[in-house]
Amino acid sequence: MNSIDLAFTTATEQARLIRCKDISPLDLVEVYLERIQRLNPILGSYVFVAAEQAIADAKAKTEVLMNTPAAELPAFFGVPISIKDLNPVAGLPCAYGVKILKNRIATEDDGVVTKLKQAGLIILGKTATSEMGMLPYTEPRGFAPARNPWSLEHTPGGSSGGAAAAVAAGLGAIAQASDGGGSVRGPAFCCGLVGIKPSRGRISYAPVGERLNGLATNGAMGRTVADAAALLDVMSGYVPGDPYWLADPEPSFFEAAHIPPKRLRIAYCTAILPVGEADENCRQAILNTAALLEQLGHSVEAKEFVDVSDLIEPFTTVFQAVLNEVGIPDLVLGKMCRWFAWRARFCSSGKYLRAVTKLQAIARQIVEFFDTIDVLVLPTYMHPAIRVGAWAKERPRKTLENIVNWIAPCAPFNASGQPAIALPTGFTPEGLPMGVQLVGRPAEEATLISLAAQIEAAQPWSHHRPAFAVQE
Could you read off the pLDDT of 345-382 as tens digits, one per residue? 999 999 999 999 999 999 999 999 999 999 999 999 99
* pLDDT score for 324: 84
Q: For residue 246, what are the CA distances in angstroms to 79, 100, 308?
A: 27, 38, 26
Q: So what's the pLDDT on residue 115? A: 98
In tens, the pLDDT along 19-44 reads: 999 999 999 999 999 999 999 999 99
| Catalytic center residues | 84, 159, 183
Q: What local confidence, expressed as pLDDT, does residue 376 receive? A: 99
pLDDT tens across 388-423, in order?
999 999 999 999 999 999 999 999 999 999 999 999
In percent, the amount of the chain with pLDDT more than 90 equals: 96
| pLDDT confidence tier of residue 146, bands split at 50, 70 and 90 | very high
**Which residue type sits at 303?**
K
Residue 471: per-residue pLDDT: 82
40-49 burial by CB neighbour count: b if 16+ within 10 A, else e?
beebbbbbbb
Average pLDDT over residues 48-64: 98
Round to whole Å and give the CA distance between 404 and 339. Answer: 16
pLDDT at 472 over 80: no
The confidence score (pLDDT) of residue 295 equals 98
Average pLDDT of span 293-306: 98
Q: Dihedrals φ, ψ of 201, to 5°?
A: 90, -5
- The arithmetic mean of pLDDT across residues 210-225, rounded, is 95
Q: Averaged over 87-114, what is the pLDDT?
A: 97
The confidence band for 178, taking pLDDT boundaries of 50, 70 and 90, is very high
Of 223-232, 263-272, 330-339, 444-453, give the lowest mean pLDDT range.
330-339
Confidence at 211, pLDDT banded by 50, 70, 90: confident
Q: Which distant-in-sequence residues (6+ apart) come within 8 Å of 409 by Cβ?
A: 182, 272, 278, 378, 379, 380, 381, 382, 437
pLDDT score recorded for residue 327: 81
At 455 the pLDDT is 98
Which candidate, 131, 180, 187, places its Cα nearest to that of 158? 187
Share the mean pLDDT of the chain.
97
